[in-house]
Chains A and B, each alone.
Chain A
Protein backbone atom coordinates (compact mmCIF):
# COMPACT_ATOMS: atom_id res chain seq x y z
CA UNK A 1 0.00 0.00 0.00
CA UNK A 2 1.08 3.55 -0.65
CA UNK A 3 0.27 6.20 1.90
CA UNK A 4 -0.07 9.77 0.73
CA UNK A 5 3.07 11.79 1.42
CA UNK A 6 1.01 14.90 1.93
CA UNK A 7 -0.33 15.09 5.48
CA UNK A 8 -3.40 16.99 4.31
CA UNK A 9 -4.35 14.20 1.97
CA UNK A 10 -5.40 10.99 3.52
CA UNK A 11 -5.47 8.20 1.03
CA UNK A 12 -4.18 4.71 0.70
CA UNK A 13 -4.04 2.85 -2.55
CA UNK A 14 -2.72 -0.38 -3.82
CA UNK A 15 0.83 0.48 -4.86
CA UNK A 16 0.86 -2.07 -7.62
CA UNK A 17 -2.61 -2.32 -9.11
CA UNK A 18 -1.53 -3.71 -12.44
CA UNK A 19 0.47 -6.54 -11.00
CA UNK A 20 -2.30 -7.79 -8.76
CA UNK A 21 -4.99 -8.88 -11.15
CA UNK A 22 -5.08 -12.00 -13.28
CA UNK A 23 -5.82 -9.86 -16.31
CA UNK A 24 -2.60 -7.96 -15.78
CA UNK A 25 -0.56 -11.17 -15.79
CA UNK A 26 -2.02 -11.91 -19.21
CA UNK A 27 -1.36 -8.32 -20.25
CA UNK A 28 2.26 -8.64 -19.16
CA UNK A 29 2.84 -11.67 -21.32
CA UNK A 30 1.73 -9.93 -24.47
CA UNK A 31 2.62 -6.36 -23.53
CA UNK A 32 3.74 -3.92 -26.18
CA UNK A 33 4.66 -1.32 -23.59
CA UNK A 34 5.65 -2.09 -20.06
CA UNK A 35 7.08 -0.34 -17.05
CA UNK A 36 8.74 -1.97 -14.07
CA UNK A 37 8.98 0.01 -10.85
CA UNK A 38 9.27 3.26 -12.78
CA UNK A 39 10.26 6.22 -10.62
CA UNK A 40 10.90 9.75 -11.81
CA UNK A 41 12.29 12.75 -10.02
CA UNK A 42 12.52 16.37 -11.12
CA UNK A 43 15.30 17.54 -8.83
CA UNK A 44 14.15 16.45 -5.39
CA UNK A 45 10.55 16.13 -6.40
CA UNK A 46 9.42 12.54 -6.72
CA UNK A 47 6.82 12.73 -9.49
CA UNK A 48 6.37 9.09 -10.58
CA UNK A 49 6.27 6.52 -7.83
CA UNK A 50 6.96 2.87 -8.47
CA UNK A 51 4.65 2.48 -11.45
CA UNK A 52 4.17 -0.94 -12.99
CA UNK A 53 2.00 -1.17 -16.06
CA UNK A 54 1.63 -3.48 -19.04
CA UNK A 55 -0.09 -2.19 -22.18
CA UNK A 56 -1.32 -4.66 -24.76
CA UNK A 57 -0.63 -4.16 -28.47
CA UNK A 58 -3.38 -2.70 -30.68
CA UNK A 59 -5.27 -1.17 -27.83
CA UNK A 60 -6.04 2.37 -26.77
CA UNK A 61 -5.03 3.12 -23.21
CA UNK A 62 -6.12 6.35 -21.55
CA UNK A 63 -4.15 8.00 -18.76
CA UNK A 64 -6.37 10.13 -16.55
CA UNK A 65 -5.83 12.08 -13.36
CA UNK A 66 -5.77 15.63 -12.02
CA UNK A 67 -3.22 18.17 -13.25
CA UNK A 68 0.22 17.46 -11.89
CA UNK A 69 -0.49 13.80 -11.16
CA UNK A 70 2.34 12.66 -13.44
CA UNK A 71 0.35 11.20 -16.33
CA UNK A 72 2.10 13.29 -19.03
CA UNK A 73 5.51 12.69 -17.46
CA UNK A 74 4.80 8.97 -17.45
CA UNK A 75 3.61 9.10 -21.08
CA UNK A 76 6.78 10.89 -22.13
CA UNK A 77 8.91 8.14 -20.59
CA UNK A 78 7.91 5.94 -23.53
CA UNK A 79 9.71 8.08 -26.11
CA UNK A 80 12.30 9.58 -23.77
CA UNK A 81 10.95 13.09 -24.15
CA UNK A 82 11.79 13.82 -20.51
CA UNK A 83 15.50 13.42 -21.28
CA UNK A 84 15.61 17.09 -22.29
CA UNK A 85 14.69 18.25 -18.79
CA UNK A 86 17.89 19.00 -16.83
CA UNK A 87 16.59 17.92 -13.44
CA UNK A 88 14.99 14.70 -14.76
CA UNK A 89 16.14 11.47 -13.14
CA UNK A 90 14.61 8.05 -13.63
CA UNK A 91 14.84 4.62 -12.04
CA UNK A 92 13.20 1.37 -13.07
CA UNK A 93 12.58 0.00 -16.51
CA UNK A 94 10.57 1.15 -19.50
CA UNK A 95 10.22 -1.61 -22.06
CA UNK A 96 8.89 -1.60 -25.60
CA UNK A 97 8.59 -5.06 -27.12
CA UNK A 98 10.46 -6.18 -24.00
CA UNK A 99 13.48 -4.03 -24.85
CA UNK A 100 14.59 -1.54 -22.20
CA UNK A 101 14.48 1.80 -24.03
CA UNK A 102 16.69 3.49 -21.41
CA UNK A 103 19.49 1.06 -22.15
CA UNK A 104 22.64 2.85 -23.34
CA UNK A 105 22.61 0.86 -26.58
CA UNK A 106 19.27 2.34 -27.63
CA UNK A 107 19.44 5.12 -30.21
CA UNK A 108 16.88 7.76 -29.27
CA UNK A 109 16.24 8.76 -32.93
CA UNK A 110 15.45 5.15 -33.78
CA UNK A 111 13.17 4.90 -30.72
CA UNK A 112 11.22 8.00 -31.77
CA UNK A 113 10.68 6.56 -35.22
CA UNK A 114 9.07 3.62 -33.52
CA UNK A 115 7.12 5.74 -31.03
CA UNK A 116 5.27 8.68 -32.57
CA UNK A 117 3.90 11.53 -30.51
CA UNK A 118 1.02 13.96 -30.91
CA UNK A 119 0.86 16.98 -28.63
CA UNK A 120 -1.89 19.04 -27.07
CA UNK A 121 -1.62 21.92 -29.52
CA UNK A 122 -1.21 21.13 -33.19
CA UNK A 123 2.35 22.01 -34.13
CA UNK A 124 2.69 21.81 -37.92
CA UNK A 125 5.95 23.10 -39.38
CA UNK A 126 5.67 26.31 -41.41
CA UNK A 127 5.89 24.25 -44.57
CA UNK A 128 3.46 22.76 -47.04
CA UNK A 129 1.08 19.98 -46.10
CA UNK A 130 3.14 17.56 -48.22
CA UNK A 131 6.44 18.57 -46.63
CA UNK A 132 5.02 18.27 -43.14
CA UNK A 133 4.05 14.66 -43.69
CA UNK A 134 7.20 13.81 -45.65
CA UNK A 135 9.47 15.48 -43.08
CA UNK A 136 10.33 12.37 -41.06
CA UNK A 137 11.11 10.35 -44.17
CA UNK A 138 13.33 13.06 -45.59
CA UNK A 139 15.28 13.17 -42.32
CA UNK A 140 15.80 9.45 -42.75
CA UNK A 141 17.34 10.23 -46.14
CA UNK A 142 14.47 9.02 -48.29
CA UNK A 143 14.37 11.15 -51.42
CA UNK A 144 12.52 8.88 -53.85
CA UNK A 145 9.59 10.98 -55.07
CA UNK A 146 7.16 8.14 -55.58
CA UNK A 147 7.92 6.67 -52.13
CA UNK A 148 7.36 10.08 -50.58
CA UNK A 149 4.12 10.62 -52.49
CA UNK A 150 2.83 7.18 -51.60
CA UNK A 151 3.67 7.64 -47.95
CA UNK A 152 2.10 11.10 -47.78
CA UNK A 153 -1.11 9.82 -49.36
CA UNK A 154 -1.26 6.72 -47.13
CA UNK A 155 -0.57 8.73 -43.97
CA UNK A 156 -3.10 11.42 -44.79
CA UNK A 157 -5.68 8.73 -45.55
CA UNK A 158 -4.95 7.02 -42.23
CA UNK A 159 -5.34 10.35 -40.49
CA UNK A 160 -8.70 10.89 -42.27
CA UNK A 161 -7.43 14.10 -43.87
CA UNK A 162 -6.73 13.05 -47.46
CA UNK A 163 -10.13 13.91 -48.91
CA UNK A 164 -9.96 17.39 -47.44
CA UNK A 165 -6.45 18.30 -48.61
CA UNK A 166 -5.62 16.13 -51.63
CA UNK A 167 -5.93 19.09 -54.02
CA UNK A 168 -3.98 21.47 -51.80
CA UNK A 169 -0.96 19.41 -50.80
CA UNK A 170 1.46 22.21 -51.55
CA UNK A 171 -0.41 24.86 -49.64
CA UNK A 172 0.86 25.96 -46.24
CA UNK A 173 -0.11 23.68 -43.37
CA UNK A 174 -0.68 26.77 -41.27
CA UNK A 175 -3.72 27.62 -43.41
CA UNK A 176 -5.55 24.52 -42.14
CA UNK A 177 -8.09 24.65 -39.32
CA UNK A 178 -7.06 23.54 -35.82
CA UNK A 179 -8.68 20.15 -36.22
CA UNK A 180 -7.09 19.64 -39.64
CA UNK A 181 -3.70 20.70 -38.29
CA UNK A 182 -3.98 18.13 -35.52
CA UNK A 183 -4.87 15.38 -38.00
CA UNK A 184 -1.92 16.55 -40.10
CA UNK A 185 0.33 16.10 -37.05
CA UNK A 186 -1.10 12.61 -36.64
CA UNK A 187 -0.38 11.91 -40.32
CA UNK A 188 3.17 13.20 -39.81
CA UNK A 189 3.61 10.86 -36.86
CA UNK A 190 2.24 7.90 -38.86
CA UNK A 191 4.40 8.58 -41.93
CA UNK A 192 7.50 7.06 -40.34
CA UNK A 193 5.51 3.89 -39.57
CA UNK A 194 5.69 3.81 -35.81
CA UNK A 195 4.17 0.93 -33.87
CA UNK A 196 3.21 3.10 -30.92
CA UNK A 197 1.49 6.49 -30.92
CA UNK A 198 1.51 8.62 -27.79
CA UNK A 199 -1.07 11.39 -27.61
CA UNK A 200 -0.90 14.10 -24.98
CA UNK A 201 -4.38 15.66 -24.80
CA UNK A 202 -4.69 15.65 -28.60
CA UNK A 203 -8.19 17.16 -28.70
CA UNK A 204 -8.17 19.58 -25.80
CA UNK A 205 -7.68 22.60 -28.06
CA UNK A 206 -10.30 21.52 -30.59
CA UNK A 207 -14.02 22.13 -31.04
CA UNK A 208 -16.49 19.22 -30.56
CA UNK A 209 -16.64 18.34 -34.29
CA UNK A 210 -12.86 18.25 -34.68
CA UNK A 211 -12.64 16.36 -31.38
CA UNK A 212 -15.11 13.79 -32.65
CA UNK A 213 -13.00 13.26 -35.80
CA UNK A 214 -9.85 12.77 -33.73
CA UNK A 215 -11.67 10.32 -31.48
CA UNK A 216 -12.95 8.31 -34.45
CA UNK A 217 -9.46 8.28 -35.82
CA UNK A 218 -7.94 7.04 -32.57
CA UNK A 219 -10.33 4.09 -32.49
CA UNK A 220 -9.57 3.27 -36.16
CA UNK A 221 -5.83 3.57 -35.70
CA UNK A 222 -5.62 0.96 -32.98
CA UNK A 223 -5.95 -1.75 -35.62
CA UNK A 224 -2.39 -0.93 -36.67
CA UNK A 225 -0.91 0.87 -33.70
CA UNK A 226 -0.74 0.76 -29.94
CA UNK A 227 -2.09 4.06 -28.68
CA UNK A 228 -1.69 5.75 -25.34
CA UNK A 229 -3.66 8.92 -24.79
CA UNK A 230 -3.50 11.40 -21.94
CA UNK A 231 -6.79 13.19 -21.46
CA UNK A 232 -8.54 15.40 -18.96
CA UNK A 233 -11.82 14.62 -20.64
CA UNK A 234 -13.31 11.67 -18.80
CA UNK A 235 -15.97 11.09 -21.43
CA UNK A 236 -13.29 11.03 -24.09
CA UNK A 237 -11.37 8.37 -22.16
CA UNK A 238 -14.62 6.40 -21.95
CA UNK A 239 -15.35 6.79 -25.65
CA UNK A 240 -11.99 5.90 -27.14
CA UNK A 241 -10.04 3.68 -24.78
CA UNK A 242 -10.02 -0.03 -24.04
CA UNK A 243 -8.19 0.39 -20.74
CA UNK A 244 -7.78 3.33 -18.43
CA UNK A 245 -5.07 4.13 -15.92
CA UNK A 246 -5.82 6.60 -13.14
CA UNK A 247 -2.83 8.46 -11.69
CA UNK A 248 -2.81 10.48 -8.52
CA UNK A 249 0.22 12.22 -7.03
CA UNK A 250 2.58 10.12 -9.12
CA UNK A 251 0.99 6.85 -8.11
CA UNK A 252 -0.86 4.55 -10.50
CA UNK A 253 -3.99 4.16 -8.40
CA UNK A 254 -6.00 1.94 -10.69
CA UNK A 255 -5.56 0.38 -14.10
CA UNK A 256 -8.44 -1.56 -15.54
CA UNK A 257 -10.84 -2.15 -18.37
CA UNK A 258 -12.35 1.25 -19.20
CA UNK A 259 -15.93 0.02 -18.84
CA UNK A 260 -15.17 -1.42 -15.42
CA UNK A 261 -13.27 1.64 -14.24
CA UNK A 262 -16.04 4.04 -15.22
CA UNK A 263 -18.91 1.96 -13.89
CA UNK A 264 -17.47 0.24 -10.85
CA UNK A 265 -13.95 1.33 -9.96
CA UNK A 266 -12.12 -0.78 -7.40
CA UNK A 267 -10.48 2.14 -5.58
CA UNK A 268 -12.47 4.74 -3.67
CA UNK A 269 -10.01 7.38 -4.82
CA UNK A 270 -10.78 6.59 -8.46
CA UNK A 271 -14.50 6.75 -7.72
CA UNK A 272 -14.07 10.14 -6.07
CA UNK A 273 -12.03 11.50 -8.96
CA UNK A 274 -14.22 10.31 -11.83
CA UNK A 275 -17.39 11.42 -10.06
CA UNK A 276 -15.87 14.86 -9.57
CA UNK A 277 -15.72 14.71 -5.78
CA UNK A 278 -12.27 16.25 -5.76
CA UNK A 279 -9.75 17.79 -8.13
Chain B
Protein backbone atom coordinates (compact mmCIF):
# COMPACT_ATOMS: atom_id res chain seq x y z
CA UNK B 1 0.00 0.00 0.00
CA UNK B 2 1.36 3.37 -0.89
CA UNK B 3 -0.24 6.17 1.04
CA UNK B 4 1.83 8.85 -0.69
CA UNK B 5 1.07 7.73 -4.22
CA UNK B 6 0.77 10.58 -6.68
CA UNK B 7 -0.87 8.93 -9.71
CA UNK B 8 -4.44 10.07 -10.24
CA UNK B 9 -7.20 7.56 -9.62
CA UNK B 10 -10.03 7.33 -12.15
CA UNK B 11 -12.40 9.34 -9.97
CA UNK B 12 -9.72 12.01 -9.52
CA UNK B 13 -9.39 12.27 -13.30
CA UNK B 14 -13.15 12.59 -13.67
CA UNK B 15 -13.37 15.25 -10.96
CA UNK B 16 -10.40 17.12 -12.42
CA UNK B 17 -12.15 17.19 -15.78
CA UNK B 18 -15.41 18.25 -14.12
CA UNK B 19 -13.66 21.16 -12.44
CA UNK B 20 -11.99 22.15 -15.71
CA UNK B 21 -15.37 22.16 -17.45
CA UNK B 22 -16.98 24.26 -14.72
CA UNK B 23 -14.11 26.75 -14.91
CA UNK B 24 -14.59 26.90 -18.70
CA UNK B 25 -18.28 27.66 -18.22
CA UNK B 26 -17.46 30.24 -15.55
CA UNK B 27 -15.15 32.14 -17.91
CA UNK B 28 -17.74 32.03 -20.65
CA UNK B 29 -20.42 33.48 -18.38
CA UNK B 30 -17.98 36.07 -17.02
CA UNK B 31 -17.38 37.21 -20.62
CA UNK B 32 -21.10 37.27 -21.35
CA UNK B 33 -21.69 39.66 -18.48
CA UNK B 34 -18.80 41.91 -19.50
CA UNK B 35 -20.06 41.97 -23.08
CA UNK B 36 -23.61 42.77 -21.97
CA UNK B 37 -22.26 45.78 -20.07
CA UNK B 38 -20.49 46.95 -23.22
CA UNK B 39 -23.45 46.19 -25.46
CA UNK B 40 -25.65 48.32 -23.21
CA UNK B 41 -23.28 51.24 -22.81
CA UNK B 42 -22.37 51.28 -26.53
CA UNK B 43 -25.88 50.36 -27.74
CA UNK B 44 -24.13 47.72 -29.86
CA UNK B 45 -26.54 45.47 -31.73
CA UNK B 46 -23.77 43.20 -33.20
CA UNK B 47 -22.32 42.60 -29.72
CA UNK B 48 -25.79 41.92 -28.41
CA UNK B 49 -26.34 39.35 -31.16
CA UNK B 50 -23.00 37.73 -30.32
CA UNK B 51 -24.10 37.38 -26.69
CA UNK B 52 -27.29 35.68 -27.80
CA UNK B 53 -25.34 33.24 -29.96
CA UNK B 54 -23.00 32.30 -27.10
CA UNK B 55 -25.98 31.88 -24.75
CA UNK B 56 -26.76 28.60 -26.53
CA UNK B 57 -23.27 27.37 -25.64
CA UNK B 58 -23.81 28.30 -22.00
CA UNK B 59 -27.06 26.30 -21.98
CA UNK B 60 -25.36 23.31 -23.61
CA UNK B 61 -22.57 23.44 -21.03
CA UNK B 62 -25.08 23.39 -18.20
CA UNK B 63 -26.68 20.23 -19.59
CA UNK B 64 -23.32 18.61 -20.36
CA UNK B 65 -21.86 19.23 -16.91
CA UNK B 66 -25.06 18.11 -15.18
CA UNK B 67 -24.91 14.87 -17.14
CA UNK B 68 -21.25 14.40 -16.16
CA UNK B 69 -22.22 14.86 -12.51
CA UNK B 70 -24.96 12.27 -12.88
CA UNK B 71 -22.48 9.83 -14.41
CA UNK B 72 -19.89 10.42 -11.69
CA UNK B 73 -22.46 9.77 -8.96
CA UNK B 74 -23.73 6.63 -10.69
CA UNK B 75 -20.37 5.16 -11.63
CA UNK B 76 -17.95 6.29 -8.93
CA UNK B 77 -20.11 6.70 -5.81
CA UNK B 78 -18.20 9.77 -4.63
CA UNK B 79 -18.04 10.52 -0.90
CA UNK B 80 -16.77 13.32 1.34
CA UNK B 81 -15.12 16.22 -0.54
CA UNK B 82 -15.58 14.40 -3.86
CA UNK B 83 -19.31 14.20 -3.27
CA UNK B 84 -19.43 17.80 -2.13
CA UNK B 85 -17.69 18.91 -5.32
CA UNK B 86 -20.21 17.05 -7.47
CA UNK B 87 -23.18 18.37 -5.49
CA UNK B 88 -21.76 21.90 -5.62
CA UNK B 89 -21.10 21.53 -9.36
CA UNK B 90 -24.72 20.53 -10.00
CA UNK B 91 -25.91 23.76 -8.40
CA UNK B 92 -23.16 26.05 -9.66
CA UNK B 93 -23.92 25.24 -13.31
CA UNK B 94 -27.56 26.20 -12.73
CA UNK B 95 -26.49 29.53 -11.17
CA UNK B 96 -24.04 30.17 -14.01
CA UNK B 97 -26.68 29.45 -16.60
CA UNK B 98 -29.01 31.95 -14.93
CA UNK B 99 -26.30 34.61 -14.85
CA UNK B 100 -25.82 33.92 -18.57
CA UNK B 101 -29.58 34.33 -19.05
CA UNK B 102 -29.54 37.72 -17.31
CA UNK B 103 -26.58 38.88 -19.42
CA UNK B 104 -28.45 37.82 -22.54
CA UNK B 105 -31.68 39.52 -21.45
CA UNK B 106 -29.89 42.78 -20.65
CA UNK B 107 -28.36 42.68 -24.14
CA UNK B 108 -31.81 41.86 -25.56
CA UNK B 109 -33.03 45.38 -24.84
CA UNK B 110 -30.36 46.62 -27.24
CA UNK B 111 -30.78 43.76 -29.73
CA UNK B 112 -34.53 44.23 -30.01
CA UNK B 113 -34.00 47.99 -30.25
CA UNK B 114 -36.12 48.54 -27.18
CA UNK B 115 -33.51 51.00 -25.96
CA UNK B 116 -32.39 53.00 -28.98
CA UNK B 117 -31.55 56.51 -27.89
CA UNK B 118 -28.83 57.25 -25.34
CA UNK B 119 -30.31 57.41 -21.85
CA UNK B 120 -30.05 60.67 -19.93
CA UNK B 121 -26.69 60.36 -18.14
CA UNK B 122 -28.08 62.30 -15.16
CA UNK B 123 -30.56 59.51 -14.56
CA UNK B 124 -27.88 56.83 -14.95
CA UNK B 125 -25.69 58.74 -12.47
CA UNK B 126 -28.56 59.21 -10.05
CA UNK B 127 -29.34 55.49 -9.93
CA UNK B 128 -25.57 54.74 -9.91
CA UNK B 129 -26.04 52.40 -12.83
CA UNK B 130 -22.31 51.87 -13.45
CA UNK B 131 -21.66 51.09 -9.80
CA UNK B 132 -24.46 48.49 -9.83
CA UNK B 133 -23.12 46.83 -12.97
CA UNK B 134 -19.52 46.90 -11.68
CA UNK B 135 -20.46 45.51 -8.27
CA UNK B 136 -22.44 42.67 -9.83
CA UNK B 137 -19.51 41.88 -12.14
CA UNK B 138 -17.01 42.03 -9.26
CA UNK B 139 -19.18 39.66 -7.25
CA UNK B 140 -19.30 37.18 -10.12
CA UNK B 141 -15.52 37.48 -10.60
CA UNK B 142 -14.84 36.94 -6.88
CA UNK B 143 -17.24 34.00 -6.70
CA UNK B 144 -15.51 32.43 -9.70
CA UNK B 145 -11.97 33.06 -8.40
CA UNK B 146 -13.06 31.77 -5.00
CA UNK B 147 -14.17 28.49 -6.58
CA UNK B 148 -11.14 28.14 -8.84
CA UNK B 149 -8.65 28.74 -6.01
CA UNK B 150 -10.80 27.09 -3.34
CA UNK B 151 -10.48 30.42 -1.53
CA UNK B 152 -13.34 30.66 0.95
CA UNK B 153 -12.11 34.06 2.15
CA UNK B 154 -12.75 35.45 -1.31
CA UNK B 155 -16.08 33.61 -1.41
CA UNK B 156 -17.07 35.31 1.85
CA UNK B 157 -16.16 38.70 0.39
CA UNK B 158 -19.02 38.16 -2.07
CA UNK B 159 -21.48 38.27 0.85
CA UNK B 160 -20.15 41.66 1.92
CA UNK B 161 -20.42 43.00 -1.62
CA UNK B 162 -23.95 41.64 -1.88
CA UNK B 163 -25.05 43.88 0.98
CA UNK B 164 -23.60 46.84 -0.89
CA UNK B 165 -25.34 45.81 -4.10
CA UNK B 166 -28.64 45.44 -2.29
CA UNK B 167 -28.34 49.01 -0.97
CA UNK B 168 -27.50 50.32 -4.44
CA UNK B 169 -30.47 48.40 -5.83
CA UNK B 170 -32.96 49.83 -3.31
CA UNK B 171 -31.66 53.34 -3.96
CA UNK B 172 -31.95 52.86 -7.74
CA UNK B 173 -35.53 51.62 -7.49
CA UNK B 174 -36.53 54.59 -5.35
CA UNK B 175 -34.85 57.02 -7.75
CA UNK B 176 -36.48 55.39 -10.78
CA UNK B 177 -39.89 55.58 -9.07
CA UNK B 178 -39.41 59.29 -8.44
CA UNK B 179 -38.30 59.75 -12.00
CA UNK B 180 -41.43 57.93 -13.22
CA UNK B 181 -43.55 60.26 -11.12
CA UNK B 182 -42.03 63.17 -13.00
CA UNK B 183 -39.54 64.32 -10.40
CA UNK B 184 -35.94 65.08 -11.28
CA UNK B 185 -33.62 63.59 -12.32
CA UNK B 186 -34.41 62.08 -15.67
CA UNK B 187 -37.77 63.65 -16.35
CA UNK B 188 -36.90 63.65 -20.01
CA UNK B 189 -36.96 59.82 -20.15
CA UNK B 190 -40.05 57.95 -21.22
CA UNK B 191 -41.78 55.72 -18.75
CA UNK B 192 -40.86 52.77 -20.97
CA UNK B 193 -37.13 53.52 -20.69
CA UNK B 194 -37.50 53.88 -16.93
CA UNK B 195 -39.18 50.48 -16.83
CA UNK B 196 -36.38 48.95 -18.93
CA UNK B 197 -33.83 50.38 -16.51
CA UNK B 198 -35.88 49.08 -13.60
CA UNK B 199 -35.81 45.63 -15.18
CA UNK B 200 -32.04 45.76 -15.83
CA UNK B 201 -31.27 46.91 -12.29
CA UNK B 202 -33.38 44.03 -10.95
CA UNK B 203 -31.53 41.57 -13.17
CA UNK B 204 -28.18 42.84 -11.90
CA UNK B 205 -29.35 42.47 -8.33
CA UNK B 206 -30.28 38.85 -9.15
CA UNK B 207 -26.85 38.35 -10.73
CA UNK B 208 -25.39 39.39 -7.37
CA UNK B 209 -27.61 36.88 -5.57
CA UNK B 210 -26.50 34.14 -7.95
CA UNK B 211 -22.83 35.06 -7.39
CA UNK B 212 -23.55 34.73 -3.66
CA UNK B 213 -25.09 31.31 -4.29
CA UNK B 214 -21.92 30.23 -6.12
CA UNK B 215 -19.84 31.47 -3.17
CA UNK B 216 -22.06 29.46 -0.79
CA UNK B 217 -21.44 26.33 -2.86
CA UNK B 218 -17.68 26.95 -2.80
CA UNK B 219 -17.79 27.15 1.00
CA UNK B 220 -19.89 23.97 1.12
CA UNK B 221 -17.41 22.18 -1.15
CA UNK B 222 -14.26 23.35 0.64
CA UNK B 223 -15.39 23.60 4.28
CA UNK B 224 -18.48 21.37 4.33
CA UNK B 225 -20.45 24.27 5.80
CA UNK B 226 -23.96 25.16 4.69
CA UNK B 227 -24.43 28.93 4.82
CA UNK B 228 -27.71 29.10 2.94
CA UNK B 229 -30.50 30.64 5.03
CA UNK B 230 -27.94 31.07 7.81
CA UNK B 231 -29.28 34.47 8.88
CA UNK B 232 -32.85 33.24 9.06
CA UNK B 233 -31.85 30.41 11.36
CA UNK B 234 -29.91 32.83 13.56
CA UNK B 235 -32.93 35.13 13.88
CA UNK B 236 -35.18 32.27 14.98
CA UNK B 237 -32.90 31.68 17.98
Contacts and interface: CB of A to CB of B under 8 A. Distances in A.
B79 A66 contact: no
A238 B11 CA distance: 19
Contacts of A119: none
A278 B5 CA distance: 7
Given A9-B3, A11-B3, A277 B12 contact: yes
B82 A275 contact: yes
Contacts of A271: 80-81
Given A275-B11, A276-B11, A277-B12, A265 B80 contact: yes
A234 interface: yes
A264 B3 contact: no
A10 interface: yes
B2 interface: yes
Nearest to B77: A235
A270 B82 CA distance: 13
B149 interface: no
A195 to B, nearest CB: 32
**Range class of the A interface residue count:** 20 to 34
A276 B84 CA distance: 15
A153 B2 CA distance: 49
A270 B4 CA distance: 14
Given A10-B3, A278-B3, A262 B9 contact: no
A262 B4 contact: no
Contacts of A8: 2-4
Contacts of A263: 79-80, 83-84, 224
**Range class of the B interface residue count:** 10 to 19
B219 to A, nearest CB: 13
A270 B81 CA distance: 11
Interface string B38-78: 00000000000000000000000000000000000000011
Interface string A248-279: 00000000000000111100001110111111
Contacts of B2: 8, 278
B80 A274 contact: yes
A231 to B, nearest CB: 14
Nearest to A10: B4
Contacts of B83: 262-263
A258 to B, nearest CB: 11
A270 B9 CA distance: 16
Nearest to B8: A277
Nearest to B4: A10
A12 B40 CA distance: 57
Nearest to B5: A278
Nearest to B78: A275
A275 B11 CA distance: 8
A264 B223 CA distance: 9
A277 B80 contact: no
Contacts of A275: 11, 78-82
A278 B1 contact: yes
B188 to A, nearest CB: 58
A9 B82 CA distance: 23
Interface of B: 1-5, 9, 11-12, 77-84, 224
- Which 3 A-B residue pairs are closest in the complex by CB-CB distance? A264-B224, A278-B3, A262-B79
Given A263-B79, A264-B84, A264-B224, 9 more contacts: A11-B3, A235-B77, A272-B3, A275-B82, A276-B9, A276-B11, A277-B12, A278-B3, A278-B4
29 contacts: A8-B2, A8-B3, A8-B4, A9-B3, A9-B4, A10-B4, A66-B1, A234-B77, A234-B79, A238-B79, A262-B80, A263-B80, A263-B84, A263-B224, A264-B80, A264-B84, A265-B80, A272-B3, A274-B79, A274-B80, A275-B11, A275-B78, A275-B79, A275-B80, A275-B81, A276-B11, A277-B9, A278-B4, A278-B5
